[in-house]
Structure 1
Amino acid sequence: MSDPAQTAVEEPVPPAAHSGLTAREVAERVDRGDVNDVPVRSSRSTAEIVRANVFTRFNAIIGVLFLIILVVGPIQDGLFGFVIVANTAIGIIQELRAKKTLDSLAVIGEAKPTVRRDGVPTAIATGGIVLDDVIELGPGDKCVVDGEVLEVDGLEIDESLLTGEADPVLKQPGDPVMSGSFVVAGGGAFRATKVGREAYAAQLAEEASRFTLVHSELRSGISQILKYVTWMMVPTAIGLIISQLVVEKDDWKEAVRRMVAGIVPMVPEGLVLLTSVAFAIGVIRLGRKQCLVQELPAIEGLARVDVVCLDKTGTLTEGGMDVTALRLLDGSDEPYVRQVLGALGESDPRPNASLQAIIDAYPDSADWRCTESLPFSSARKYSGAALNGPDAESSRWLLGAPDVLLTEGDAALAEVEDLNAQGLRVLLLARADRELDDPRVTDGVRPTALVVLEQRLRPDAGDTLRYFAEQNVSAKVISGDNAVSVGAVAGKLGLPGADAPVDSRRLPAERDAMAEALDRGAVFGRVTPQQKRDMVGALQSRGHTVAMTGDGVNDVLALKDADIGVSMGSGSEATRAVAQIVLLDNSFATLPSVVAEGRRVIGNITRVATLFLTKTVYSVLLAVLVVCSRVPYPFLPRHLTLLSTLTIGVPAFFLALAPNKERARPHFVRRVMRYAVPAGIIAGLATFAAYLLARQHYSGTGALDAETSAATLTLFLISMWVLAIIARPYTWWRIALVLAMALGFVIVLVTPWLQHFFALKLVGTTMPWAAVGIAVVASVSLELVWRWVGRRFPA
């Protein structure tokens, strides 16, 4: 303390011996390329974004058909090609916007390791590390490159993310350090021996912060649907080509146009686009709230969550604490105890929140010297130090959880329980007779004082917990602190079940029994890091989708195993690396926004997918009926482009971005197809019936445009009814959207140049009204089937 040289006497290697590289040595290594130049990106590159949106299977199909139409003409039958160009451009622009947002947030959230240069500790970007740099380590720091340990101060490193071994490894000088591991206790320094792509973390670091399109039920479901559509397209297209060439043998160009018209609407190309756009806009919206989404489907995943596990410290409470009282237990002199606490605080170079509060309350005295230290570990729940006081008498002290340091039944525990019941945190200062490295150091300790700490509740935590309760999401507070204290804090915030906290040391180890206890309880204290991981697994075994929030190294394993890991921006580098979502503003209140965004995306994509796939079903059915009946295909490409734009494309875009608070439900494909298949069949049969009736009504007149117009009117009205069903529940803007699309079709029918452009003209009154009548019957059937399906196959 007063003498830095004396303080370091017990360290294996004095820090002064490792002053790090000089500026000249750094420059030499940079010139040689010995730099940690792993390209850590938060998003795909611009080229990858363009390539992913342009070079798709369906763009290739539509592109070929568009070229065919350019050959046979007229250009209005090629409108679908321009729609694809516009859709692709929208997708690229939105994802580039999301990339810009993510890249800027990644820079804000990027960890900067402390490196010694010219003997001065300096925080630099990970990419600025060079070979042989001396990198300092403290609790929560992630090892970003491979290296060799130079200095240790009770340095314990968790390598479980790499090796699967749960127990932390106590490091000594000369031991190897694996990049991707992280410090759980103590501190030290190591020399970088492998940097850049040679380091083991080259892949881990890049993957940890990359904006990825990994597995999600939504995307895999859409891919499955598109696979089925492709299988249906090939035989249907072949049959359609043959039938139209036979029917239109005197006009091959007309046959080709009708064939293209039959194939194009089978492709639900906008569904993939809208999914990407909805995700990208979700990322942008969350980015504005300082929420970094490190994996795209994390938005979707959190929307499916039905259990959220919360770490109390840093989530329900703010990071800082205040010492409110010091209660002596053995009649010790209070000034003496204050000096011991000050010396203990000074013995830890990287204090946690509790120790920092003690440091602030009890400054270090120049008369005390630390000769040995035992860093705090979340597994053992205490720290310690060997101190030489002003009387030169050496003493060993422990500071930690009273119920861990004291034996059951100790008189001091009753007072601790009373304080915990008030929501206060209590640490015990005790004198130990054994050496600090003795596994039984806590045996026979002499309690000296209770340090009472008050935690600062987050002002928005209560509202956030209420939001989860309203959304039927169970909140489980899982903390390493005393269960009664955690329950009192949760009770102040109004968490249901907080009045029955559970001490996790009494939880059964067997997974099913643990899961049953977790379902019953809401607050769990004295949870070890491994127990947190086991709890997440137990909940998942019951079919729950689990989100885990945390900010400390004791949360890393649970964050990694949870379906969705959420880290605070101020949390340790290790937690930020494994989390899918990072709250850069450290606000727990941002979580409802993330949940709401996920629900908006999934709920709305399910809605619009029904629109797109209804079109696919009736298109396939119409093509099959045409092939079997050997009649001209009822539509030209321009007709279906108009219908798709007014009944699917434009309304789907608005519906996909609308608010939606409905909790995401599983079985995406089944839920979409159970509506799309009957709706598509009804629409296809009704449209074909109207077409055949029109052919009979206009027989002998050669009025193919009149026949097509009647069929188009029927299909438009049925598609509008499908849209009206999908748009429920109605709001003013949803009603306005449906009416605007109907008005658009009316304008086409009454405007002469648009009639000519789209080859639509209703002839007479009998057949148009018959087409309307068929559409009404089909719409009533749709409504009845829709309601029956909803009752027969509830979501």
Structure 2
Amino acid sequence: MSATLWHTIETEETLQKLDSSTSGLSSAEVEEKVSRHGKNLLPSRKRLTLFRIILDQFMSSLIYVLLAAAIVALILEEYSDAGFIFLVLIINAVIGAFQEWKAEEKASALENLIKLKVKTMRDGKVRVIDSEDLVPGDIVMLESGNKVPADIRILRENNLTAEEAILTGESMAIDKQSETLEKEKAAVSERSNMLFAGTTITTGRGTGVVVSTGLDTEIGKIASSLTELSTGKAPLVKRMEIFTRKISFIVLGACLVLGVTGYYSGIPIKEIFFFVVAVAVSAIPEGLPIAMTVALSIGASRMAKRNVIIRKLTAVEGLGSCTFIATDKTGTLTVDQQTARVIVLPGAIPFKVSGEGYNGKGDITAPDGEKAFVKTSPEFGDLIRAVTICNEGDLSQDDGGWSYAGDPIDVALLCLTYKAGSTPMKILEQVEKVSEVPFESERQYAAVYYKEKGKEQLQISVKGAIEKIRERIDAEKNSEMLEKAVKYAADGYRILAVGGGPVEEVMPVGELPFMELLGFIALIDPLRPEAAAAVEACHRAGVQVAMVTGDHPATSLAIAREVGIAKTREELITGDELSAISSKAGTEFLDILKSKRVFSRVSPQQKQVIVESLREAGHFIAVTGDGVNDAPALKTANIGVAMGYGTDVAKDTSSIIISDNNFASIAAGIEEGRFTYSNLRKIIYLLISTGAAELITIGLALAFMLPLPFLPVQLLWLNLVTNGIQDVALAFEAGEKKVMRQAPRRPDEAIFDPLMIRQTLISAAVIGLLAFGLWYHLLNHLHWEESIARNAVLMLMVLLQNFHALNCRSETRSVFRIPLKKNLVLIFGILAAQSIHVVALQLPIMQTILSLYPIAWQHWLYLFLTASSILFAMEIFKLYLKKKNLVIRK
């Protein structure tokens, strides 16, 4: 039954196929159909348990290596080493699980879209039942404000319209009728004799028969498809997977090579095990999981202040990595409120209208640049009065702001009344309505017969489709206006003609008298004020932007041109055109997609195919959406971005939610994402370079047949306590504005790019040579006791890490050009790291655990001056890069 094209079948035949009638189903028939079709429910989302969330925190290659190191430490009975590592894993799991649990708390059930009460016919009587009890064949009665509980074939209707944006992306309510359609492959938005589950009745009343329930509805089909789609990985996840695999191989390789070398050097097996543990501890950046989680959490907090809510931490950096944004139109680029933009009076005189949304803010400007008011001219005043009198909406202002009710077009027309310096109350109190003809889709107009108070002359005000009103006016006299109306319609505007004048009598409903054309009004869902600048910012940052919408092609192209997404009709493609080329070979199909920037009248499946194709072509793609129709694409994208006002389905499928529904916030998210990635690079740079320096120090000691310069527990102290404070503090580094003037990172670009490799090798070499030089000097020249010398080398390494943290504030800028106040957390972190180590030197318990001894202040000063050389070494390297112009894009 779900494959039946119900919109092409006559109402009588529809009832027959469903074994139903206009008097509804009997109780026995309902019971039989429930057993056959099941409840009218969509599957609820299975929430992750706290245990599963915690378990997910350990699903990482780096975590596996850390666990292996901890197990080796336990085998060797190095319990303090193992304890440190397990502490890292626990802290990281707690922070990550807390963030994801908070996001999980916001998860919502899919079935809420259609779980409601509904009026239906059962056993020949009207009954109110739960929507989940509906079955195919049930007769349902709906009216304005009702949520549609299932897919329904309309049998009878009266002025029925439905808002279907969650399925189609169409910004305007759809006129509904009961007549059979001939087009078999009509899109959802074109099936005017159908109502769909999850949509809302805007105006009128209707009676229909349920044809599909649960998973067989259009919403149900989308819900089913989500389980079959693969989710695009966030860019950071991909890069970190590659990074941790390399780290794992490096650690294993270093352990193997140095272990074998030590064995053939005559070192006892037990000492080799200790040595391997030391190497593993040096090479593994133990603090990286915590530092990454903290950096992403800080990024999430900063994004929240810019209206970008993060549901999955890895998505923080994702927006900064995206190379392509597929954005929705309605409510994202536009305000999702119909607004008059142009008023054209007789003689084709255009008046411009400013302001957005359902309020009286804005002006109406005459061709001479002066503001227009009701009394500006008789023609202008007549039109404003006509659209106010012939109006069923409500718009008023109070202390709480503007409130409105009624049809969106009626409300938009009342906005003109306020902008023209009057109010609906002032105009309506001057007239007495005699008869009203409400708008219906078949008539295509609304009319009001009235008399001005104190006068006997009957008058009429009419508004409606220009095709209808032109039949009752002097078309030749108004030919210029009619031509201009056609032009505005071609540019994506909705045209509303306004007529009026004195009449002899009230005409029968369906008939109109001859009248004067007072003018026409061009309306559109206007662009958000910040949208164009945000799109330009994305383009400047090298991010491509395309509009993917279910709206009308003309309207879509008009908005795309205004916002700067597209310029010509050649950049637009419709859903029908997309279907025609979908059979082409992969590369040819992709080439066509690459040349398009506006995709209109596309189905949910087509949007998902567009996203998947661009993703497979190498793009890191972010997709915005608010409706159920957007869910497949949101899940397929690398980064799914839901609008705050959107459906629960869209939010649940996404990793990011834009709370103010504004595309400008997406641009802000890209900037913050790039800031976060830059900070993550700084953290990785610090941890890997210092870890590599420790390896170099150990390797040189082995090569020169010297004892190990560090104990494993001392390396853990370095990596977790001293560096562990500083790497987290780097996460607070303020971003550099230049990131939005640079191209996005290549999708195949690794974290360890040429710049990272150069700076890591050079800084590690300098730090390692300094530490080994001191170790060699103390043992061979000054003949210090091994434990005392090791204590001094450890202090030098702490100081070197303190200074190197300053180097890591920028990969290219001089540390002396970055104000300290830009990251006071780091400054305090460096002081804290040094202070903690100095205090540890004095505490007996720490002396026992870490084999520490107090250091004289003269020796500390000598070590301090020695450590400062890393600062100047890296300044020379940055100067060299700048001189040779070797910095490509960082």
- For residues 517 and 706 of structure 1, what CA distance do their matches in structure 2 show? 70
1:501-559 CA deviation, whole Å, 9 max, x = no partner?
977436588999998998xxxxx9xx844699899999999999776666689999998
Corresponding residue of 2:291? 274
User: Using a 3 Å threshold, how does the CA distance of structure 1 residues 274 and 86 change in structure 2: closer, same or farther?
Assistant: same
Structure 1 residue 229 corresponds to structure 2 residue 247: yes
Contact 2:231-2:638 at 8 Å conserved across structures: no
- For residues 735 and 130 of structure 2, what CA distance do their matches in structure 1 show? 43
1:145-173 CA deviation, whole Å, 9 max, x = no partner?
9x785769899999999xxx997268879
Q: How does 1:275-354 map to 2 (within 5 A)?
A: 275-280=292-297, 282-283=299-300, 291=308, 293=310, 297-304=314-321, 314-315=331-332, 318-321=335-338, 353-354=408-409
TM-score calculated relative to the size of structure 1? 0.66
- For residues 625 and 780 of structure 2, what CA distance do their matches in structure 1 show? 71
- For residues 57 and 786 of structure 1, what CA distance do their matches in structure 2 show? 33
Q: How does 1:731-742 map to 2 (within 5 A)?
A: 731-732=820-821, 733=824, 734-742=826-834
User: Using a 3 Å threshold, how does the CA distance of structure 1 residues 430 and 218 change in structure 2: closer, same or farther?
Assistant: same
1:429-465 CA deviation, whole Å, 9 max, x = no partner?
499xxxxxxxxxxxxxx99951354878868779978
User: Using a 3 Å threshold, how does the CA distance of structure 1 residues 505 and 620 change in structure 2: closer, same or farther?
Assistant: same
Structure 1 residue 46 corresponds to structure 2 residue 50: yes
User: Using a 3 Å threshold, how does the CA distance of structure 1 residues 576 and 217 change in structure 2: closer, same or farther?
Assistant: closer
User: Using a 3 Å threshold, how does the CA distance of structure 1 residues 138 and 412 change in structure 2: closer, same or farther?
Assistant: farther
- For residues 239 and 203 of structure 1, what CA distance do their matches in structure 2 show? 52
User: Using a 3 Å threshold, how does the CA distance of structure 1 residues 763 and 218 change in structure 2: closer, same or farther?
Assistant: same
User: Using a 3 Å threshold, how does the CA distance of structure 1 residues 33 and 658 change in structure 2: closer, same or farther?
Assistant: farther
Report the AA paired with residue 719 of structure 1: Q
Corresponding residue of 1:690? 774
Corresponding residue of 1:788? 880
Q: 2:101 aligns with which of 99, 102, 109?
A: 99
Q: 1:412 aligns with which of 476, 481, 498?
A: 481
- For residues 213 and 556 of structure 1, what CA distance do their matches in structure 2 show? 11
- For residues 879 and 26 of structure 2, what CA distance do their matches in structure 1 show? 74
Structure 1 residue 651 corresponds to structure 2 residue 726: yes
Contact 1:130-1:195 at 8 Å conserved across structures: no
1:554-579 CA deviation, whole Å, 9 max, x = no partner?
99999899876645344578876876
Please state how far the C-alpha of 1:272 moved relative to its aligned partner: 3.5
Corresponding residue of 2:838? 746
Corresponding residue of 2:643? 568
Please state how far the C-alpha of 1:723 moved relative to its aligned partner: 0.8
Please state how far the C-alpha of 1:86 moved relative to its aligned partner: 3.9
TM-score calculated relative to the size of structure 2? 0.60
Contact 2:236-2:318 at 8 Å conserved across structures: no
Q: How does 1:142-161 map to 2 (within 5 A)?
A: none
Deviates more, 1:253-262 or 1:167-176: 167-176
Corresponding residue of 1:168? 187
Please state how far the C-alpha of 1:636 moved relative to its aligned partner: 0.8
Contact 1:116-1:122 at 8 Å conserved across structures: yes
Corresponding residue of 2:279? 262
SS in 1 for 2:335: strand
- For residues 167 and 660 of structure 2, what CA distance do their matches in structure 1 show? 29
1:170-223 CA deviation, whole Å, 9 max, x = no partner?
88799999x99999xx99774445549996444445689xxx984233221121
Contact 2:319-2:669 at 8 Å conserved across structures: yes
Contact 2:155-2:209 at 8 Å conserved across structures: yes
Corresponding residue of 1:675? 759
Q: 2:852 aligns with which of 749, 756, 760?
A: 760
Report the AA paired with residue 888 of structure 2: P
Contact 2:120-2:129 at 8 Å conserved across structures: no
Contact 1:710-1:762 at 8 Å conserved across structures: no
- For residues 413 and 387 of structure 2, what CA distance do their matches in structure 1 show? 9
SS in 1 for 2:724: helix
User: Using a 3 Å threshold, how does the CA distance of structure 1 residues 158 and 779 change in structure 2: closer, same or farther?
Assistant: closer
Report the AA paired with residue 279 of structure 2: G
Q: 1:505 aligns with which of 569, 572, 578?
A: 569
Corresponding residue of 2:714? 639
Corresponding residue of 2:520? 450
Please state how far the C-alpha of 1:610 moved relative to its aligned partner: 0.9
- For residues 495 and 281 of structure 2, what CA distance do their matches in structure 1 show? 71
Structure 1 residue 712 corresponds to structure 2 residue 797: no
1:58-87 CA deviation, whole Å, 9 max, x = no partner?
444434543554565565444523432443
Report the AA paired with residue 412 of structure 1: M
Provide the aligned length of Structure 1 versus Structure 2.
Answer: 714
Q: How does 1:389-788 map to 2 (within 5 A)?
A: 398=465, 411-412=480-481, 427-429=495-497, 450-453=520-523, 504-505=568-569, 528-529=600-601, 566-571=641-646, 581-586=656-661, 590-591=665-666, 594-660=669-735, 662=737, 663=739, 665-666=744-745, 667=749, 668-670=751-753, 671-697=755-781, 699=783, 703-728=785-810, 729-732=818-821, 733=824, 734-751=826-843, 754-761=846-853, 775-788=867-880
Report the AA paired with residue 215 of structure 1: K
Report the AA paired with residue 45 of structure 1: T
Contact 2:611-2:636 at 8 Å conserved across structures: yes
- For residues 31 and 696 of structure 2, what CA distance do their matches in structure 1 show? 70
Contact 1:417-1:484 at 8 Å conserved across structures: no
1:21-56 CA deviation, whole Å, 9 max, x = no partner?
999979996999846362426x74322221122355
Please state how far the C-alpha of 1:236 moved relative to its aligned partner: 2.1
List runs of 5+ in structure 2 lacking aligned partners: 1-9, 170-183, 349-378, 395-404, 418-423, 450-461, 470-474, 500-515, 574-587, 811-817
Contact 1:749-1:760 at 8 Å conserved across structures: yes
Contact 1:698-1:707 at 8 Å conserved across structures: no
User: Using a 3 Å threshold, how does the CA distance of structure 1 residues 22 and 101 change in structure 2: closer, same or farther?
Assistant: farther
SS in 2 for 1:727: coil
Contact 1:339-1:365 at 8 Å conserved across structures: no
Corresponding residue of 1:438? none
Report the AA paired with residue 104 of structure 1: K
1:289-320 CA deviation, whole Å, 9 max, x = no partner?
77555665543332245787877753465333
- For residues 294 and 523 of structure 2, what CA distance do their matches in structure 1 show? 48
- For residues 73 and 189 of structure 2, what CA distance do their matches in structure 1 show? 71
SS in 2 for 1:116: strand
Corresponding residue of 1:62? 66
List runs of 5+ in structure 1 lacking aligned partners: 1-9, 374-383, 432-445, 519-523
1:341-382 CA deviation, whole Å, 9 max, x = no partner?
87999xxxx998447646999999987588875xxxxxxxxx
SS in 1 for 2:57: helix
Contact 2:42-2:110 at 8 Å conserved across structures: no
Report the AA paired with residue 643 of structure 1: L
Please state how far the C-alpha of 1:228 moved relative to its aligned partner: 1.3
Contact 1:548-1:558 at 8 Å conserved across structures: yes
- For residues 315 and 483 of structure 2, what CA distance do their matches in structure 1 show? 45
SS in 1 for 2:287: helix
Please state how far the C-alpha of 1:725 moved relative to its aligned partner: 0.8
- For residues 599 and 62 of structure 1, what CA distance do their matches in structure 2 show? 28
